[in-house]
Homo-oligomer: A and B are copies of this chain.
C-alpha cells in the first residue's frame, strides 16, 4: 500500500507532534512559535519548517489557560443592520490591528436580557476587555462588568454613569442642538418620526433633548409617529405621508435616524413637496448613504469611527486610562445639508 504524503489527521496536532518532528523540546517549539526568548537561528528554522509541513495550528485554549492571557476583546452591540455599528467596528478593528488583540462581536438586538446573556457568555472566555454599547444594563450585567477585573468601555452615549470608562456623545445635547438650529432657521411647526423601540435609549435621549429645547423656545411638537421593524426607508416614506396627510401645516420633520429621513425625503420629492422650501427635514447619524440622495437632509455625525478608535485605545492601554469614571465626550458636528438655511 502506497504511503499517502500528508493524510488529514484525525486528531488535531499538538506541540508534541512538532517537537518530535523537529527533534526539539516542546518548550523550545513553543518559544519559536511565539517569538519569545532566545532561540538559535538553526533550531528556529527547523521548528518552523516542521510546523508548516505538518500544518500545525496552535491550541489557544490551552495557551490561554496556561498563560492566563486571552487576546480577545468582547464587543457588544445592539445590531449589525443599523449601518452605525459596522463603522464603529471598523474603528475598533483598525486600532486593535497592531496590538495583538482581536475583537469578538456579540449582538443583542436591543434586548437587555439578551445583552446579559451575551455578556455572560463572552466573559466566560475571559477576554482582555469589554466594549459595550450604551450605559443602560440590567443590574446583573452591571455587576458582571464591575467584577470582571478588566477594562470596560461603554460607548456611543455619555448621558449616565459608566461602570468604568465611557466614550461617546451626549444624545440629549445632540437633540437640543438640532432643535436650536431648526428654530434658528425659522421653522415653527415641527413633527417627529422615530422608532418605537423602548430600549433604544439613545434615540429616546435625543428626543428628550429636542423637546426640551423646543419648550425653552415656547414650542412643542405638533405631531409624532413611531414605527418598528421593516425596511427603514419604506417606513420613512409611509410615516411621512401619513403624517403630512394628518398634519398638513407642518414645516419641519425631525427623524430619529437618517434612513427613515431618507425615505421621507424621497417621498417628498416624488410628491413634489419642495425641500427645503415648503418643508425642512433632519435625521441623525451622518450616514454615507445620504451623499447619494438628490438633496441633503440635515443630520448630525455621531463620531462613530472616533468612538471605536478611542474605545479600542483605552482597552489596548494606548491611552492613559484615568481609572474609574473616565468619560470621553466627543462633539458631533451638525451638518445643515440643504434643508437648514442659515
> Which of A's residues lie within 8 Å of B, judged by CB?
8-12, 55, 57-62, 64-65, 70, 80-81, 83, 86-87, 89-90, 93, 102, 104-105, 107, 120-121, 123-126, 143-144, 146-149, 231-237, 262-263, 266, 269-270, 288-289, 291-294
Q: Could you tell me if B149 and A57 are in contact, using CB atoms closer than 8 angstroms?
A: no
Contact, CB under 8 Å: A124 / B57: yes
A270 and B126 alpha carbons, distance in the complex (Å): 54
Q: Is the CB of A149 within 8 A of B10?
A: yes
**A87–B294 CA distance with the chains assembled, in angstroms:** 28
Report the bound CA distance from A149 to B13 in whole Å: 11
CB contacts (< 8 Å) of A148 on chain B: these are: 12, 57
Q: In the complex, which residues of chain B have a beta carbon less than 8 angstroms from the beta carbon of A293? A: 233, 266
What 3 A-B pairs come out closest when comparing CB atoms?
A233-B292, A234-B292, A80-B86
Given A61-B126, A80-B89, do A9 and B147 touch, yes or no (CB 8 Å)?
A: yes
With A86-B80, A149-B10: A125-B61 Cβ-Cβ less than 8 Å: yes
* Shortest CB distance A86–B (Å): 4
Give the residue name and chain of the B residue nearest to A81 (CB).
B86
Please tell me if the beta carbons of A124 and B58 are within 8 angstroms of each other in the complex.
yes
Q: How far is the CB of A11 from chain B (nearest CB, A)?
A: 7
Contact B231 A291, beta carbon cutoff 8 Å? yes
Q: In the complex, A269→B272 CA distance in Å? A: 13
A61 near B70 with CB under 8 A, answer yes
State in angstroms the CA–CA spacing of A144 and B278 once bound together.
61
Contacts of A236 in B (CB 8 A): 292
CB atoms of A59 and B266 under 8 A apart: no
Whether A104 lies near B107 (C-beta < 8 A) is no
Complex Cα gap A60–B70 (Å):
12
Contact between B59 and A62, CB atoms less than 8 A apart: no
| Residue in chain B with minimal CB distance to A82 | B86
Residue of B nearest to A105 (CB): B105
Give A328 Cβ to nearest chain B Cβ, in Å: 23
Chain B residues whose C-beta falls within 8 Å of the C-beta of A65 in the assembled complex: 61-62, 65
* Chain B neighbourhood of A83, CB < 8 A: 81
Complex CA–CA separation, A9 to B147 (angstroms) = 6
